[in-house]
Amino acid sequence: MDFRAVKNNQLVSLASIPVWDYDKFLERNTALLADEHCHCVHYFAFPQGKRLRLFCCIADDAQGAILLSSAQVDTSRPLPSFTAHRLAFHTFEREIHENFGVEYTDHPWLKPLRFPHNRSDRQSGIANYPFFRIDSEELHEVGVGPIHAGVIEPGHFRFICNGEQILHLEIQLGFQHRGVEPLFLEKKKPLQRLTLAESIAGDTVAGHTVAFVNLWERLCGYRAGANLQFARTLALELERIAVHTGGLSALCTDVAYQLGSAVFGRLRTPIINFFQVWCGNRFAKGLIRAGGNRYPFTAALAGQLQQVLAGFEPDFEEMCAETFTLPSVLGRFEKTGVVTHEQASAIGAVGMAARVSGVQRDIRASHPHDLYAMLGHQPIVKHHGDVYSRAQLRRREIEQSIGYIRRLLEQVPAETDQPPIADQPAAESFVLSLTEGWRGEICHCAITDERGELALYKVKDPSCHNWLALALAVRNNEISDFPVCNKSFDLSYCGHDL
Amino acid sequence: MLNNLKILFHQGKQYIPDVATATVPGIFRGRPRISAGAGHEAELAELCPTGAIDAGPLRIDLGKCTFCGECAFAFPDRVQFTTDPKIATNDRARLVIAAGTDLPITLNPDLIRGEISTFFSGSLKLRQVSAGGDNSTEMELNACGNVNFDMGRFGIEFVASPRHADGIVITGPITENMAEPLQICYDATPDPKILILAGTDAISGGIFEGSPALDRRFLNQYPIDLYVPGNPVHPLTFINGILELIRKRRR
């Protein structure tokens, strides 16, 4: 039996996913990653009694397919690791180890991932994290966090420095762990699950909620009409513009460029205020619902959005033209925090972090959902992998999103009277939903039991792949460049910690 | 230089002149209004995702409400959301909106500690601690200081260290893994100090209430000086709440 190939958001029966012996499972999946157009979108364990069924989901971007396979293993027997062959699996195997106590014979470094409340070793605690150390009289360590100087989420960064130069950065996460995945099973009402999806990462409400509703509708056999697909696509692109603009503001702040910081910061306001005009919330909470549309997109709203964009664009371009030619900004952005193509590819980077290093990875193009096939998205790719590229990518993606929104507004679909969704998921099924949030690829997976109840819900934020990219980027940089490097990736703490 | 002047000219004035009277654009969901009378109490309580609605008598607890607005869609004759953003208070009981009342939410002056207006009315420096916050309220707290809302004009600012702070603003439902750092941060803040809970997650746990990954025992130890509901908190809610806290005096 070969891999079970599925499309994004395709419902399959659990029985149709092949169960291989572990050696074949390891060999076939790690071999796929030899090609850069294949990458791991999820790899997780589903407990079945005392055994685990491991599911590996590899996206083949060239074919637009996701290749599924599984293996049953005993937790008592140490396993050879995927990570020894492909580094991109390291977080997933660390999670399996942390949650279920699976030992690996050759995993390079089974560090704790997020200290979840249901971890297999409750003796371990976040205060006793095993940091990497180098013993040398010439080196010193710098610890930052978990509480940072700015108003941001908590996480701990431990630098090993030689003078001002960073030799090594270790990122310790888990402070934000709220137990999101088990709550998806415990909270039975669909509205509770939607609220959870909106709260996975409050800066990516559209990204995670679209992933959830697409998955849920497919589980319940509901086909979203053109109006729903329109609203979801529009929300994703508006969110991209808003957060990227805020990101440019913060990048300017981190290089002490006050004018850019203030102007980009205020340019974000009309975009998020449009969300409030549309749905009553500046972060689009409440906007996206499975099987319905609380806030129909009217012709009046379309006219308002055209005006918002017409006001935004000249100010944005004027500010970009100044920022991206200013020597004091360029001096800090260029050649700072470089991630090479080889590194990005090896660690399985996704989203912005991949595309600035020449790795063309974008769900909107490779596994399109909602109206993205119609838009014919062409990803913007940069090659230098530095802070400058990540800033430039934001600028270009904002311009691209404005273009997409204008095309979407040419044809606002009429509201249709669809029958409401029947919230009854198919039994013994598996579905995987991918969306391209502003940060990168979001993956939600669900498995249902014989009664159609959720038996497993897995969430993967792009940050799970990309935190390692930040750790690699700052090596050999000055420690004073850490803030601007960190902001250039703009990764999620709560999306990672779940 | 000329380019900079051009940019400044094109930006014009962006600040909101009077935050106390500013209105929010669009269909913002602020303070709800529950009609007097009877009907649909049980259904309303059942549909609320966080148990913020109590059936007998019908009331909504803004400390638990996620402002999803689904109750107003289902039974618009019973529940409506006004666009009033001033929903912060220091009295937990005042966050519970009863049927038939349509009054602004204000602070209870009897609960404001005397030292707050004595020490903080002209200058208030705050340390923010995100303890499982989803980054939306954090971003809105940042927005409080941007050129639109410009909280700095009132002498209210977020600072980098608890040693420089007059108080702590907590966001998020307080995870077990953040319980100790939060306590350390609180202990490092010099007295007198105030404690503010920003966002529904911080006030009640929100959708995460009851999760075994939380540890909210920190909150049992100290009085809360301000509750700021919202999902996320709107900058106008936060700024107006704080201004009332530091300017209002006990009668």
> What ranges do the domains of chain A cover?
4-113, 180-497
3-class SS at A244? helix
Between positions 313 and 352 of A, the ones with CB within 8 A of B are 314-315, 318-319, 321-322
Same domain assignment for residues B63 and B133? no
For residues A32-57, average pLDDT: 93
Mean pLDDT of A474-486: 94
Q: What is the pLDDT of residue A477?
A: 94
- Strand order of the sheet with strand A441-448? A12-13, A429-436, A441-448, A454-460
Assess whether B116 and B234 both reside in one domain.
Answer: yes
Min Cα separation B187/chain A (Å): 14
User: Between chains, do A177 and B47 touch, taking CB under 8 Å as contact?
Assistant: no
Does residue B81 belong to any structural domain of this protein? yes
pLDDT score of A200: 95
What's B137's domain CATH number? 3.40.50.12280
Taking CB atoms and an 8 Å cutoff, what residues of chain A touch B207? 183, 187, 192, 195-196, 199
- A276 touches B at CB < 8 Å: yes
| Final residue belonging to a domain, choices B58, B75, B98 | B98
Is the pLDDT score of A308 beyond 80? yes
A191 and B70 in contact by Cβ < 8 A? yes
Residue A100's pLDDT band (boundaries 50, 70, 90)?
Answer: very high
The answer to whether residues B137 and B41 belong to one domain is no
> Does residue B14 sit within a domain?
no
Contact A322 B3 (CB under 8 A): yes
Query: A residues 151-180 near B, CB within 8 Å?
Result: 151-154, 174-179
In a domain, residue B63? The reply is yes
Residues 82-121 of B with CB under 8 A from A: none
Assign domain A180-497 to its CATH architecture.
Orthogonal Bundle (1.10)
**B47 & B146 share domain:** no
Per-residue pLDDT tens digits for A261-304: 999 999 999 999 999 999 999 999 999 999 888 899 999 999 99
Instruction: Check pLDDT > 80 for residue B134.
Output: yes
Task: Please report, rounded to a whole number, the percentage of residues in chain B having pLDDT higher than 70.
Answer: 99
Check B231 against A492: CB less than 8 A apart. Answer: no
The answer to whether position B241 is within a domain reads yes
Which residue range(s) make up the domain with B56? 32-98
- For residue A401, the model assigns a pLDDT of 97
**Cβ contact (<8 Å) for A176 and B7?**
no
Mean pLDDT over A13-25 rounds to 94
Same domain, B85 and B46: yes
pLDDT at B250: 54
Mean pLDDT for B140-162 is 92
Q: Do B3 and A492 touch (CB under 8 A)?
A: no
Q: What is the mean pLDDT of residues B72-84?
A: 92
Interface contact flag, B207 A285, Cβ < 8 Å: no
pLDDT digits (tens, 9 = 90+) for A114-169: 999 988 888 888 888 989 999 888 999 999 989 998 899 999 999 999 999 999 99
User: CA-to-CA distance for B170 and B173, rounded, in angstroms?
Assistant: 9
Out of B7, B137, B214, closest to residue A263 by CB: B7
Strands (E), chain B: 32-34, 53-54, 59-61, 79-81, 96-98, 124-130, 156-158, 167-171, 194-198, 226-228
Using a CB-CB cut-off of 8 Å, the residues of chain A touching B167 are none
What is the C-alpha to C-alpha distance for residues B162 and A282, in angstroms, rounded to an integer? 29
Residues of chain A in contact with residue B199, where contact means CB-CB under 8 angstroms, are: none
The answer to whether B27 contacts chain A (CB < 8 Å) is yes
Query: For residue A457, what pLDDT is reported?
Result: 96
Residues of B within 8 A of A248 (CB-CB) are none
Domain tally for chain B? 2
pLDDT for residue B150: 92
Tell me how far apart the terminal alpha carbons of chain A are, to the nearest angstrom: 34
Which residues of chain B have a CB within 8 Å of the CB of A194? Answer: 49
Q: Give yes or no for residue A50 having a pLDDT over 90.
A: no
Q: Which of B45, B65, B98 is the last residue of a domain?
A: B98
Q: Do A176 and B132 touch (CB under 8 A)?
A: yes
CATH number of A4-113: 3.30.460.80
Q: Are B109 and B249 a contacting pair, CB within 8 Å?
A: yes
In-domain check, residue B119 = yes
For B99-125, what is the mean pLDDT?
89
Q: Give A216's contacts (C-beta < 8 A, 6+ positions apart).
A: A190, A193, A290, A425, A446
Q: Residue A300: its pLDDT value, please? A: 93
**What is the ipTM for the molecules in this complex?**
0.93
End-of-domain residue from the set B43, B65, B98: B98
Do A286 and B11 lie within an 8 Å CB cutoff?
no
For the CA atoms of B54, B60, B64, B66, the dihedral, rounded to the nearest 10 degrees, stands at: 120
Contact B177 A315 (CB under 8 A): no
Tens of pLDDT, residues A427-465: 999 999 999 999 999 999 999 999 999 999 999 999 999
Contacts with B142 from chain A: Cβ below 8 Å: 150-151
- Let me know if residue B168 belongs to a domain: yes
The percent of residues above 90 in pLDDT, for chain A, comes to 88
Report whether pLDDT(B251) > 60: no
Same domain, B89 and B119: no
> Is the minimum CB–CB distance between A1 and chain B shorter than 8 Å?
no
Cβ(A93)–Cβ(A113) below 8 Å: no
B138 and A493: CB-CB below 8 Å? no
pLDDT of B148 strictly over 60: yes
Chain A: residue nearest B25 by CA?
A277
Q: In this predicted structure, what is the pLDDT of residue A76?
A: 87
Could you please report the per-residue DSSP string of A123-178?
T--GGG--------TT-EEEEE-SS-SSSS---EEEEEEETTEEEEEEEE--TT--
- How far apart are the C-alpha atoms of A424 and B77, rounded to whole Å? 29
The answer to whether the CB atoms of A318 and B177 lie below 8 A apart is no
Same domain as B126, residue B190: yes
Give the up-direction half-sphere exposure of residue B149: CA atoms within 13 A in the CB hemisphere: 22
A302 to chain B, any CB pair closer than 8 A? The answer is no
B-chain CB neighbours of A189 within 8 Å are 47, 49
Residue range A321-330: mean pLDDT, rounded:
94
Torsion angles phi and psi, residue B200, rounded to 5: -60, -40
Check residue A293 and give its pLDDT: 85
pLDDT of B13 strictly over 90: no
Cross-chain residue pair A492–B160, CB shorter than 8 Å: no
pLDDT of residue B249: 65
Chain A residue with the nearest C-alpha to that of B172: A176
Torsions phi, psi for B157 (to 5 deg): -145, 155
Interchain pair B139, A202: CB under 8 A:
yes
Mean model confidence pLDDT for chain A: 93
Residues B118 and B67 in one domain: no
Predicted confidence at residue B200, as pLDDT, reads 95
Q: How far is B64 from chain A (nearest CA, A)?
A: 13
- CA–CA distance, A180 with A457 (Å, rounded to integer): 9
Helix axes A190-199, A205-219, angle to 10 degrees: 150
Put simply, the answer to whether A178 touches B129 (Cβ < 8 Å) is no
The whole-number pLDDT of residue A127 equals 86
What is the model's pLDDT at position B56? Answer: 82
Domain assignment present for B191: yes
Domain CATH code at residue B38: 3.30.70.3270
The verdict on a CB contact (< 8 Å) between B49 and A191 is yes
A382 alpha-carbon distance from chain centroid: 19
Select from A128, A151, A183, A189 the residue whose CB has the most chain B CBs within 10 Å, as the one to mutate to test that interface. Answer: A151
The verdict on a CB contact (< 8 Å) between A493 and B148 is no
Q: Two tokens at A166?
A: 């960073």
* Residue B171, helix vs strand vs coil: strand
Residues B126 and B170 in one domain: yes
Q: Is a pLDDT exceeding 90 seen at residue A419?
A: no
- Residue B122: pLDDT above 90? no
Token pair, residue A333, equals 């952005």
Mean pLDDT lowest for which of A230-234, A357-361, A442-446, B40-44?
B40-44
Verify that B145 and B169 share a domain, yes or no: yes
In chain A, what residues touch B143 (CB-CB under 8 Å)?
269
Instruction: With respect to residue B24, please indicate whether it lies within any of the assigned structural domains.
Output: no
Mutate to test the interface with A, among B43, B149, B175, B180 (most CBs of A within 10 A): B175
Q: Both B223 and B149 in a single domain?
A: yes
Average pLDDT estimate for B78-83 = 92
- Is A368 touching B (CB cutoff 8 A)? no
Instruction: Please give the structure tokens belonging to residue A148.
Output: 């940072």
Identify the closest residue of chain B to A192 by CA–CA distance. B49
Q: In which order are the strands placed within the sheet that holds B194-198?
A: B156-158, B124-130, B167-171, B194-198, B226-228
Q: How far apart are CA A73 and CA A91, in angstroms?
A: 19
